[in-house]
Amino acid sequence: MSAQNIGADGFRPKPPRASGTVTAAGCAVPNATDATCAGEPHVSTPTPYDGILLLGFGGPEGQDDVIPFLRNVTAGRGIPDERLEEVAHHYRHFGGVSPINEHNRELKAALDAELSARGLDLPVYWGNRNWMPYVTDAVEAAHADGRTRLLAIATSAYSSYSSCRQYREDLADAVEATGLQRAVQIDKVRQFFDHPGFVAPFVESLRGAVAELAGRGITDLENDVEILFSTHSIPNSDADRSGPPERGLGAGGAYVAQHTAVAAEIMTQLGIPSSWQLVFQSRSGPPSVPWLEPDINDAMQDLPVRGRKAVLIVPLGFVSDHMEVMWDLDTEALETAAELGLVGIRTATPGTHPAYVGGLVDLVEERLNGTPVAERPAVTDLGPWYDVCRPGCCENKRLGFQPALAGVAP
């Protein structure tokens, strides 16, 4: 099934886009379990899942992988290898190895351990969008083990095309590529941006950074410190379309609203008077296309003029130390801070923090037990987010609505 074409260079490309989806009679959601078939926003019916799909972005694991990986990332855009090589220097700098795959191996192991500790017989199958093992490999492995009611967890907390809908498209691509459209059922946990288990590690790490500043003699948090909550920039048009249109969240859509709400909650829990901003990083694409701003490096430029002595950088949009964290924050942003005479500290990502891992398994148990929405934890007024993505959610302006699972079409 998923023994796709292996090129002369030994690399296997990711599967093609699905041509459509298979929806059971009377269902509003393709490849859905009985609990999600009707397409209701939240599910209160217990569902006997028998496997977990851990969905990652993927990354190269050696110098020879870099260009094939970037071909996967940019598939369909016609970008020549010469241009890809120009943007490969972040990976080349680190020996061609992205940390993301190893982080996902660690997360898988941590999830396996937590599920086992809770007495849950739910093996975790890991698959990536852009590098081996692909989502197709995970779906096929689960099916080979007799696991056919699967619950997906994407390694992204927020709503947008690239952080939610595209993972749902990956699932549609996988079941078509493996020929398992009628053999497996796949649901997805809700976006977990405001689950306490995701938020707690940021609060803990930021509190530690404040203590570190105090050790360096910086104690006037209100006047001397700026906190920058950083996330991946995306095109304004995609941000505006993030989340369901029915929410009416305005410019920046759910993507900006969710990040802003979580940052505000972290500051509330931290209980300090420091000034803070939501900033963006890792922009790509032509300059003619507007992307979310301000860029983190631009946002730092006026901090010395405002009397700031230190900047705390919180990688709010990331669940682990991806390449964007290691290069765009640990390298470029901290270099900018140093050039401006600012003390710069980058706080930790959730990684395999026990609260984060436990929170992900809490999300699984919500669906196993059919926990009513009123009993689900969420630390902002935006959540708990939807179990079944709503119609028209997170459209990609360039591509339109492609086949996707775990939501109501389009």
DSSP 150-161: EEEEES--S-SI
Q: How confident is the model at residue 39 (pLDDT cuts 50, 70, 90)?
A: very high
> Which CATH number is 196-346 given?
3.40.50.1400
Q: Which residues contact 368 (CB under 8 A, 6 or more apart)?
A: 46, 47, 48, 49, 120
Q: What integer is the mean pLDDT of 231-255?
A: 96
Between CA 56 and CA 14 the distance in angstroms is 13
- DSSP code, position 373: G
Give percent of the chain above pLDDT 90.
Answer: 92
Q: Which residues of 242-262 are buried (b: 16+ CB within 10 A; e: fewer)?
A: bbbeebebeebbbbbbbbbbb
pTM of the model: 0.96
3-state secondary structure of 363: helix
Asked if residue 1 has pLDDT above 60, the reply is: no
Q: Given this model, what pLDDT does residue 9 score? A: 55
Structure token pair of residue 291:
């992307």
Q: Given this model, what pLDDT does residue 76 score? A: 77
Handedness of CA 231, 234, 237, 239 (dihedral sign): negative
Mean pLDDT of the chain: 95
Q: Given this model, what pLDDT does residue 333 score? A: 98
Residues 51-100: tens digit of each pLDDT: 999 999 999 999 999 999 999 998 878 788 888 998 898 899 999 999 99
Structure token pair of residue 169:
């498209």
Q: Given this model, what pLDDT does residue 79 score? A: 87
Helix (H) or strand (E) run with residue 128 in it: strand 124-128
Asked if residue 318 has pLDDT above 60, the reply is: yes
Between CA 171 and CA 65 the distance in angstroms is 24
Helix (H) or strand (E) run with residue 279 in it: strand 275-281
Q: How confident is the model at residue 327 (pLDDT cuts 50, 70, 90)?
A: very high
CA trace torsion 211, 217, 223, 229 (10° rounding): -40
Please tell me whether the peptide bond between 244 and the residue prior to it is cis, using omega within 30 degrees of 0.
Answer: no
- For the chain, count helices (H), then strands (E): 14, 8
Q: Given this model, what pLDDT does residue 83 score? A: 87
Between CA 31 and CA 36 the distance in angstroms is 9
Q: Which of 183, 121, 112 is nearest to 153 (CA)?
A: 112
